[in-house]
Every structure is written in structure tokens, then in C-alpha cells.
Structure 1
Amino acid sequence: MATIHPTAVIAPGAQLGATVSVGPYAVIGEHVRIDEGTTIGPHAVIEGHTTIGRDNRIFQFVSLGAVPQDKKYAGEPTQLHIGDRNTIREFCTFNTGTSQDVGITRVGNDNWIMAYVHLAHDVQLGNHTVLANNATLAGHVHVGDWVTIGGLSGVHQFVKIGAYAFVGFSSAISQDVPPYMMVDGNPLAVRGFNVEGLRRRGFSAERIAAVKQMHRSLYRSGRTLQEARDEIAALGQSAPEAAADVAMMLDFLAGVTRGIAR
């Protein structure tokens, strides 16, 4: 049976897995679904059309599934989807999506999300990310897998951050950050590539060398973006072990709409 503190307020329509735990004074709305093994801390508010997966640790005082902070929002039944095994610390605020986008704010699996993090409407957060205290993601932001975003950093609406990127403390991210890159500052600047993060993820020396070459093509060669893309494409032929890494970079660059961080 679910363990629900007697002071918690659970709406009749809410669906809670048999091993869900709900702490004192938590409030869970009628359109909320929470899967097995997830724990909800005291005073948490989970509302809206929110779906939460298995084995998440959701701490006290969070607000999940509130309506978006978007003046165009007119009451549409948009959603928040949270995957499995995420840690969501105190005072985080995740809003539902909007009908101007896919209508769903998504959080993947195995993310470590520290206190006071804000995920605005239609954010798409991947897997295995780390968002440090007070990281703020505006509407329609996309974040790839294994990204780290430093504390007190703000991400502008519609920005994309590629997989394995690292954003330093107190940064202002107003342009897209390609995969593997290390950025920080205000104005934002690329400081190198995330070599230590790649080593921790088990990248081989050959793959790291290919990422280093992609960084050089984009930021150290003096080439235009199109010239750099052509050079990176050729790298996929000469470094077959890194073919998937090259393909991911090319796919990211093809979808850039705000320009890339320089």
C-alpha cells in the first residue's frame, strides 16, 4: 500500500503506485499519476496533468505541474512528464507545456536536479544531467543527455544545449551550445571541450581526439560555420570509432536557430 501521511491532501482522481510515499502536508491534484517507488516530500505541490515515473526522490516544497508563466496560455490541458530515478531537490518549480509547442514539458531519467531549479514551459531535459542550484531554464529550452549546468546560470528561451556539454557557474546562455563544449561567462564564451566529463563517461582516446578536432574546427581554425561543418563531416570517414559523435554534432549544427556560442 502507498504510504500517505494523514495530513497530505490527495485529490480523488490522482493515481499513485502501491509503493509511493507521500509526506506531511503534500498536495497532489486529480490529474496526477505517480509510479512505483517514488517519494514525495513534505509540503510538495504536484498539480496539473503531471505524470511521474518510478523511483524518483522529490524533496519538500517543490511545485510541479503548475500552469506556465506565459501570457499566451489560455487554460489548455498541457502536461508535465517526469521519467524515472530523478532527484528533485527543494523549491524546484517545473511548469507544464503550452499549445504553441509540443504541449509537454519533459524530464528524462536519472537526472540530479538541485534546489531552486526552474524548468519553464516546454523544456525538454534529457537523461543523466546535473542542474546545480538556481539554474533557470526558460521556455522551449532543449538540453541533451549528460549535460551539466552550473549554479545561478540562466538559459534563454529556445536555446539548445547539446549532449555532454558543460556550462560553468553563473553563466548567461543566450545561444546554442554544441555537444561536448565547455562554456561559461556573461557574455558566454567557449572555453574548451568537456574532456574530463568525456573521460568519466568512458570515451576512448580515439573518440576524445575526434571531439578535440571538432572543437578545433569550430573554434580554433578561423573557418566559417559551413566550412567547419564540412571538415567535421570528413572526420567521420577518417575516425570511424567516432562516427556517432560526428553524426550527433552535425545533426545539432543543422538544427541551430539562435547561432552557436562563440
Structure 2
Amino acid sequence: MTAVYLFSEALNAAQIFAIYQLGLGYKGTFKFKAESDLFLAEHHKLLLYDGKLSSAIAFTYNPRATDAQLCLESSPKDNPSIFVHSPHALMLQDVKAVLTHSIQSAMHSIGGVQVLFPLFAQLDYRQYLSDEIDLTICSTLLAFVMELLKNSIAMQEQMLACKGFLVIGYSLEKSSKSHVSRAVLELCLAFSKYLSNLQNGMPLLKQLCDHVLLNPAIWIHTPAKVIYIYILILFYYLCCFCA
């Protein structure tokens, strides 16, 4: 369940798109930039937190703001009320408030992104009731870690502080090179491009390049097709850099 908003004036397309970037889990009132842990472009932040959206909220309800069977109206106190009587909504008899947390919040509660690192050391473990090794686990884990980092500035800082890519790179060095597939290469390249476009992404990008993307001990024994693509991409980036 997500929040419901009614605005006292029509929103333009840019404002609607900026609100969409906040996702279904957003339950704030567009007042403080720090209320969302998501990485947002500066022009989206400007649209969301310039005060226009906040002052235009006629009413808003969200599943967090509850008191017994009441769903509390949560618009900013300075906004004029459109209600003659109490603005709070009464929930139906069998409805109960349920509090949910984002995956980033859940990860923080059990120790942060580093709780996933030991899984990279178990890539060569055989599957339960099987003698085979699942070669897709590495790319799945890596995709999950990178998705967490994309959606959380706090986790990016955590990853940098605990030298996460150093740990992941070491695990990839020690495991079978069959895990280092084309999918893993494409994930690393896509994330490096993402970090290069971040204002404060250079330290984490350097860590990714030093310990994973440009670590020869990881890539030298990978399948021939992966090495071929890897070398082509390196030459491409080298040519772009020299140009």
C-alpha cells in the first residue's frame, strides 16, 4: 500500500515524472531532501523540494500514519484545511495497519550490504541435492548488490568504507572462473558507467576498477568469448580516453 495525495492545483508533466522517481514506497510531504534515501537527479530534487508541491497538498493519507482504527491526515500543518470536521479517515472494521520496510532498510537492520559478501566465497558450493554448481549465482548476487547501491546513497558510502569491491574481487579470484561470465562483465561495465555519471561516484568507481573490472587475476582465465569481449571493450575505452 502506498500514500494517497490530493493537490489543490494541477501538476505539470515534469512534476509528475519527478514524483514517479520516488517510487511506491514514498510517504513524505515533499519538504526535506534527506527524507528519501534514493539517488535523484538534481533537476528532480529541485522540482520535488522547491516548496510548491508541499504547499499544494490538500490532503494525504499513508499506511504509516495510523492510530488504532484511524488513518491520520498528514498534510503539512501550514497548509489550509479543506475539511469542516475531523480530516482523519476511519478504517473499516477488519482493516489493520501494516508497516513495511524497503529492502535497503531491511538490509541495514541485519548489518548492511556487507552481509552479502560471504555468499561470494561460496560460489563453488554444490547445490542442495545436486552435484552441479550453479554458474548463474555470481551474476545474480552481483546484480542484487549493484541494484542496492543504485538506490541508496547510504549503502554506497557503506560499500566504500568496508572496501566491498576488494572483498568481492578477492572472492572472484579464488573461485572458479566459470562464474565470471559475460553477464558479470556487462554488470560491471553498466555499473561503472552509472558511477561515472554520479557527482560523488569516483571513489567507488576507482574501487570497482582496481579490484574487479581491471583486475587481471579475475579475467585472465575466464572463457575465451568473455576475454575477447573484455579486450575489445578495454581497447574501446582506451581509444576514447586517448582521443
Q: What TM-score do the two structures reach when normalised by structure 1?
A: 0.26
Structure with the greater alpha carbon radius of gyration: 2
Where is the strand percentage greater, Structure 1 or Structure 2?
Answer: 1
Scaled by the length of structure 2, the TM-score of the pair is: 0.28
Specify which structure has the bigger relative contact order, considering alpha-carbon pairs within 8 angstroms and separated by 6 or more residues. Answer: 2
